[in-house]
């Protein structure tokens, strides 16, 4: 014989339709500005490094050093030409 006693896990169908559970829609969390602020700070640091490098390269001391190096190379070429007799 079949067991006609319903078990606690089985719900007998009586012709009633239950609405499906609608999942709650939660609004998306607002993104924090942390990533934007970090990106902005990194851009400022990069711009500062670039500006500092440009100012250092164009400073009067650096320009003098480069000119002296060019003059030293020219003097070494003249010296080599005079010593070898070419």
pLDDT digits (tens, 9 = 90+) for 11-39: 666 766 666 677 777 776 666 788 889 99
Total domains in the fold of the chain: 1
In-domain check, residue 35: no
Residue 40 clears pLDDT 60, i.e. is over it: yes
Residue 75 domain-assigned?
yes
Answer yes or no: is pLDDT of 8 > 90: no
Which domain, by its residues, includes 74?
47-84
The two tokens of residue 11 are 């719900």
In a domain? residue 10: no
Q: Examine residue 70 and state whether it is found in any structural domain, yes or no.
A: yes
pLDDT at 6: 52
Let me know if residue 14 belongs to a domain: no
Distance between CA atoms of residues 65 and 71, nearest Å: 10
What is residue 21's predicted lDDT score, i.e. its pLDDT?
A: 72
Is 61 within the bounds of a domain?
A: yes
- DSSP result, 5-66: SPPTT-----S--PPPPPPP-PPPPPPPSHHHHHHHHHHHHHHHHHHHHHHHHTSHHHHHHH
Would the pLDDT of 3 be above 70? no
Is residue 74 situated within a structural domain?
Answer: yes
Chain-wide mean pLDDT for the chain?
82
């Amino acid at each position: 014989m079949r067991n006609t006693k319903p078990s606690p896990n089985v719900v007998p169908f009586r012709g009633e339709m239950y609405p499906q559970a609608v999942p709650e829609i939660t609004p998306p969390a607002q993104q924090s500005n942390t990533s934007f602020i970090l990106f902005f700070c990194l851009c400022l640091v990069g711009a500062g490094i670039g500006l500092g490098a440009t100012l250092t390269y164009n400073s009067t001391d650096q320009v003098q050093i480069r000119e002296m190096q060019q003059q030293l190379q020219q003097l070494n070429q003249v010296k080599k030409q005079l010593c070898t007799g070419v």
